[in-house]
Amino acid sequence: LVPPFSAPEAAPRLRSAAARVLHANWTGTSTVPSRGLYPHQWSWDSAFVAIGLRHLSPLRAQIELETLLAAQWGDGRVPHIVFNPEVPAGAYFPGPGFWRSSTDGRGAGAPEAVETSGIVQPPVHALAALLVHRADPGLSRARGFLARLRPKLAAWHRYLLERRDLGGAGLASVVHPWEQGMDNSPCWDAPLARVTPAPARSFRRADLDHGTVSDRPTDLDYGRYVRLAVRYRDGGYADRAPGGADGPEFAVEDPAFNALLIASEQALAEISAELGEPEPERLARAGRLTEVLVERLWDPEAGLFLCRDLPAGPGGEGAPVPERAVGGLLPLLLPGLPPQVVDALVHTACGPHFGLGGPVQLVPSYDLLGPVFDPRRYWRGPAWFNTNWLLERGLRLHGERGLAAGLRAALVETAAASGFAEYVDPYTKESCGTRDFSWTAALCVDLLS
Ligand code: 9WN
């Protein structure tokens, strides 16, 4: 049996500490993930931040999402970074001078007034917008929050479901590891092995100025990230199917990205209903996409969802990537999963590969028994707060109340004890990466509210 919060009387203190982090990282129109390491606005970070901020200031939570969506491209994509022009060039790599969105992204409708990256991140935004609305429906209606956001969210999802359906089965593909958000996950090792890295001297990593080098991706990883991004940029950020000479070298159907898209489609249908314009066809499509996700990415032997590496298979059909990573558990978020898939996912989360409730209290980003597991290196083993927050929702949704309560307690206690770390060693819970990290603080506030 998992205990409830071990010290409920500590909750107000933890909540205030988390609120202070969010206050310090607020720029006036959005929140930076961290002042030093990530000094701009990031897409999925902002969604998680808004989910926490709604309890502290529903107005700031609305503005957070509005600022991000103001940088949306004409083709519907929501860029993964919106650059703050006041931050010195070189403070973050790759910066605006690398992506050159307002010139090189013009064909895809990049905005002129703001510089952004040209790739995307997981679509958590409609889910965040719905939760933000519910925190203060009166303010939301008075400001026309949902009415203004709805067409933008619909265009965003349309971009992913149409232009990014590179495999032709209905799922969205990511064309860069940064898009899925788990940058150096072992899931990308095989797909990235085909990519010739950009020479190390052709760029300078700013991230290494801020943290422990061994907690970050390697230089070889960065060489490949740069090469993929340059190629996408130089093709005008156009989306093409893999296989042809100008097709992407990296194209992966990822279970977490698609599960979040489906959950956000369901949230968008609820937003439409809230606005008095129900969209039953959107809900029905989310149900069909859940079936496609299971058909295409579920692996019954492994007991979790696997990524599909499109260029690896004949005719772009792709091949599964045989790595167990936390993204393969995240479809637990979806209400429409077959019961045997739900049971297997819970079993896998608690089994030897992820160890929940056994050797670890927070689910690691990668298989504890995997050949390249590393408890401190970024997405290759450490436990992250956003993925565990998503799993907590999934466990609760499927009636696993004891497991969900245990995970909630561990999330809050570890977040506060770690100084709101970016990620932690799953065994020792030692802080890794940067501290005072926004989504760690925001999701802690959410769980305490
Ligand atoms: C590249 C901001 C982002 C997160 C990602 C995380 C990390 C960036 C980086 O930081 O990625 O986008 O420079 O390493 O992997 O999930 O959104 O917090």
What confidence score (pLDDT) does residue 245 get? Answer: 84
What confidence score (pLDDT) does residue 152 get? Answer: 98
* Per-residue model confidence as pLDDT tens digits over 241-265: 998 888 999 999 999 999 999 999 9
Q: Are 49 and 34 in contact (CB under 8 A)?
A: no
Binned at pLDDT 50, 70 and 90, residue 7 comes out as low
Name the catalytic one among 45, 64, 75, 183.
183
Distance 348 CA to ligand 1 centre (A): 27
- Measure Cα distances from 444 to 56, 210, 232, 233 in Å: 12, 24, 36, 37
Mean pLDDT of the chain: 96
* Per-residue model confidence as pLDDT tens digits over 84-135: 999 999 999 999 999 999 999 999 999 999 999 999 999 999 999 999 999 9
**pTM, 2 dp:** 0.97
Report the atom number in ligand 1 closest to the C-alpha of 439: 18
**Secondary structure element (H or E) that encloses residue 253, with its range:** strand 252-253
What confidence score (pLDDT) does residue 10 get? Answer: 82
CB within 6 Å of ligand 1 — which residues? Answer: 33, 38, 42, 44-45, 80, 178, 181, 183, 207
Q: Is 183 a catalytic residue?
A: yes
pLDDT > 70 in the chain, percent: 98
Mean pLDDT of 58-74: 98
Amino acid at 167: G
Report the atom number in ligand 1 closest to the C-alpha of 437: 18
* Per-residue model confidence as pLDDT tens digits over 176-197: 999 999 999 999 999 999 999 9
Residues with Cβ within 8 Å of 428's Cβ and at least 6 positions away in sequence, in order, are 375
Distance 53 CA to ligand 1 centre (A): 20
Which residue's alpha carbon is at the smallest distance from atom 3 of ligand 1? 42
Binned at pLDDT 50, 70 and 90, residue 3 comes out as very low
Report the atom number in ligand 1 closest to the C-alpha of 34: 18
Residue with tokens 């499109």: 310
Backbone φ, ψ for residue 116 (5° rounding): -140, 170
Instruction: Please provide the DSSP assignment of 23-81 as one string.
Output: HHTB-SSSB-SBTTTB-SEEHHHHHHHHHHHTTT-HHHHHHHHHHHHHT--TTS---SE
Residues with Cβ within 8 Å of 104's Cβ and at least 6 positions away in sequence, in order, are 110, 118, 233, 234, 236, 237
Contacts 24+ apart (CB under 8 A), 281-285: none
Q: Are 286 and 311 in contact (CB under 8 A)?
A: no
What confidence score (pLDDT) does residue 4 get? Answer: 43
Strands 298-299, 304-305: parallel, antiparallel or unpaired by DSSP? antiparallel
Distance 181 CA to ligand 1 centre (A): 6
Q: Is 265 a catalytic residue?
A: no
From CA 116, how far away is CA 98, in angstroms rounded? 10
What confidence score (pLDDT) does residue 425 get? Answer: 98
pLDDT at position 310 over 80 = yes
Q: How many CB atoms lie within 10 A of CB 316?
A: 18
Which ipTM did the prediction report?
Answer: 0.99
- Counting Cα atoms < 13 Å in the Cβ hemisphere of 137 gives 4
